Amino acid sequence: MSQSIFSISSLKLSQHQTLLTGLRLLTGILAAFLVFIFIYSFFYYTYVEKQQTQFFDHVLWWLKSFGIWFVLSPLTLIGLYLFQTKLSFTINILAFGIPNIALAAGSRVYFDHPAYTDNIIGYYILFIPSQSAAFCFVALFWYWFIYQKDILHLQKSALDAINSDTESCLNQGLQVEYMGRTVKIPFDEIVYIKSAGNYIEVFSKDNEFLKRATLKDLHNELPDNFLQIHRSQIVNLKHINKLQNASSGVGIVTMSNHQQLNVSKALKSTLKKQLANYPLISKSSI
């Protein structure tokens, strides 16, 4: 339990660190944009307008057009981060995009409203595309520098949790191959084991695994609740649901995964004795 709490705390800390790193990077970008405004305005004032207008008029035009994003950008970034696990991706974008774009376009009209009194709505609509582009920049920044990194943190945390749970489950299990990786299955989750040449097939209720070994090699690894019922099969006695007698004289066991397996005549009596310690759902005489 303490290890799980530590993992959750570490995950939250890493996510907060991702947000703080993103905010620092965004601050740097906004500062660079401000420098660009002054440099661009200087060259425009000097070489295009040839000093016929006021230098700060050019700076003011940029600030009236996009200055509000110096405030909205970090707030939007924090909002997208806080709700990225509470809202779907699309809803999150729309929930912050629509009001921010509307507010930014409204501020642009507000600062120049004396010049647009004849058609305020028309100019408001005219400014929406440029403000939408500004929001798209912030949203893309959030997606690449925060959202994607948080997904990687979550995936790594989930994988670590799976490996930790597998290793800690009774501190016992069988190492097998699954999807190109070596994993450990707790003995209690193994339903039965079947020989397949130089490999064995290990069956749980939901999955099938491979291990390079023979049934003979496994005898020293398996606990007492595993019993060989056939030259090619070992079963977990805890997972036997039903025991029947076939017309040919062999026994038939139904496992918890609904698989039916044959019990050799020579091993029927041994199985019957062993099952005295493991209750069956259904039992008929053998």
Q: pLDDT digits over 54-84, tens only?
A: 888 888 889 989 999 999 999 999 999 888 8
| Domain span at 193 | 174-283
Nearest-angstrom CA–CA distance, 93 and 104: 16
* Residue 11 and residue 68 in one domain: yes
* Residue 26 and residue 160 in one domain: yes
Is residue 172 helix, strand or coil?
Answer: coil
CATH of the domain at 271: 2.40.50.1020
Give me the DSSP letters along 39-83: HHHHHIIIIISTTSS-HHHHHHHHHHHHTTHHHHHHHHHHHHHHH
* Ranges 95-104, 109-118, 191-200, 231-240: which has the least confidence: 109-118
Instruction: Calculate mean pLDDT across residues 106-133.
Output: 85
Rounding to the nearest 10 degrees, give the CA dihedral for residues 214, 217, 223, 224.
Answer: 90
Q: How many domains does the chain have?
A: 2
* Residue 273 and residue 199 in one domain: yes
* Residue 212 and residue 151 in one domain: no
Q: pLDDT digits over 145-202, tens only?
A: 888 887 777 667 666 655 555 454 445 788 887 666 778 888 888 999 999 888 888 9
* Residue 219 and residue 77 in one domain: no
Domain stop point among 108, 134, 166:
166
Q: pLDDT digits over 204-238, tens only?
A: 888 888 888 888 888 777 888 899 998 899 999 98
Domain stop point among 166, 201, 225:
166
Nearest to 215 by CA among 203, 199, 204, 191: 199
* Residue 87 and residue 105 in one domain: yes
* Residue 104 and residue 60 in one domain: yes
Across the strands, what pairs with 177?
182, 210
Task: Give this prediction's pTM.
Answer: 0.52
∠136-142-148 over CA atoms, to 5°? 125
Is residue 33 helix, strand or coil?
Answer: helix
* Residue 75 and residue 101 in one domain: yes
* Residue 78 and residue 158 in one domain: yes
* Residue 14 and residue 152 in one domain: yes
* Residue 191 and residue 161 in one domain: no
Domain stop point among 110, 144, 166:
166
| Residue 240 CB partners (closer than 8 Å, separation 6+) | 253, 254, 255, 256, 275, 278, 280
Nearest-angstrom CA–CA distance, 261 and 208: 16
Q: pLDDT digits over 7-43, tens only?
A: 444 445 566 788 888 899 999 999 999 999 999 888 8
